[in-house]
C-alpha cells in the first residue's frame, strides 16, 4: 500500500510553520494530502477557495503534495482517500496535550490510521495562523510569517 499522509488543518492562511512541517515530512511519505477542513459553524478570514489556491501556489513545484477540502470527521476523510497516516505539527505543551487527545480518539475511530506528530523548530514555535490574521487585520507586516509564493497576493489583498 502507498504511504499516504493527510495533513489536516484550517490553513487560514498557510504559514511558514506549516510549510516547514510539510517539507520535513516529505521524505517520509509518497504523497501528502493537505486537507482543508470546512466547518460551517466557524468563520474564516480567507475563503475556502483562497486557502486552497494559496496552498497550491506554495507547492506548485512539489508533485508529492496535493490539496483537498473536506467536511466531517478527519479520520473518515483519511480512510476515504486511502491515507494511513495523519500528520500534525506540535509547537508547545498545549499543542501536545490537544494533539494527544485527538490522536487517541482517532485511533479509536480508525485503527488503521497512525498519527505522526512532528515537533516544530524553535524559530517557528510562536507562529500561528491566528497571529498572522491578527497582524493583517491591524495592517502590520505579516510577510515574514508567510511563504514567499503568497506574500504578494496577501499583502495586495489587504
Ligand atoms: P487547526 O485549526 O486544525 O489547528 P491549523 O491550520 O492551525 O489547523 O494547523 C494545522 C497543523 O499545523 C496543526 O497540527 C498545527 O499544530 C500545525 N502548525 C501550525 N502552526 C505551526 C507552526 N508554527 N509550526 C509547526 N506546526 C504548526
Residue-wise pLDDT for 86-107, tens only, equals 999 999 999 999 999 999 999 9
CA of 88 to the centre of ligand 1 (A): 7
Q: Which atom of ligand 1 lies closest to the CA of 12?
A: 6
87 pocket-lining for ligand 1 (C-beta < 6 Å): no
Residue-wise pLDDT for 61-91, tens only, equals 999 999 999 999 999 999 999 999 999 999 9
Residue 132's closest CA among 20, 21, 44? Answer: 44
Residues marked as catalytic: 18, 42, 91, 129
Task: Supply the DSSP string of 70-95, one letter for each residue.
Answer: E-S-HHHHHHHTT--EEEEEE-SHHH
For cell 473536506, the residue is: 70
Strand partners, 119: 90
What pTM was computed for the model? 0.95
Amino acid at each position: 500500500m502507498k504511504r499516504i499522509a493527510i495533513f489536516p488543518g484550517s490553513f487560514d492562511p498557510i504559514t511558514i510553520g506549516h510549510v516547514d512541517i510539510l517539507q520535513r515530512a516529505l521524505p517520509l511519505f509518497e504523497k501528502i494530502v493537505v486537507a482543508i477542513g470546512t466547518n460551517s459553524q466557524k468563520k474564516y478570514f480567507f475563503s475556502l477557495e483562497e486557502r486552497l489556491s494559496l496552498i497550491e501556489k506554495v507547492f506548485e513545484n512539489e508533485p508529492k503534495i496535493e490539496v483537498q477540502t473536506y467536511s466531517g470527521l478527519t479520520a473518515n476523510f483519511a480512510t476515504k482517500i486511502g491515507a494511513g497516516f495523519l500528520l500534525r505539527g506540535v509547537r508547545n505543551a498545549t499543542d501536545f496535550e490537544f494533539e494527544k487527545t485527538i490522536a487517541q480518539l482517532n485511533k479509536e475511530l480508525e485503527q488503521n490510521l497512525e498519527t505522526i506528530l512532528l515537533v516544530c523548530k524553535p524559530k517557528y514555535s510562536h507562529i500561528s495562523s491566528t497571529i498572522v490574521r491578527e497582524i493583517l487585520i491591524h495592517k502590520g507586516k505579516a510577510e515574514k510569517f508567510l511563504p514567499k509564493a503568497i506574500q504578494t497576493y496577501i499583502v495586495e489583498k489587504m
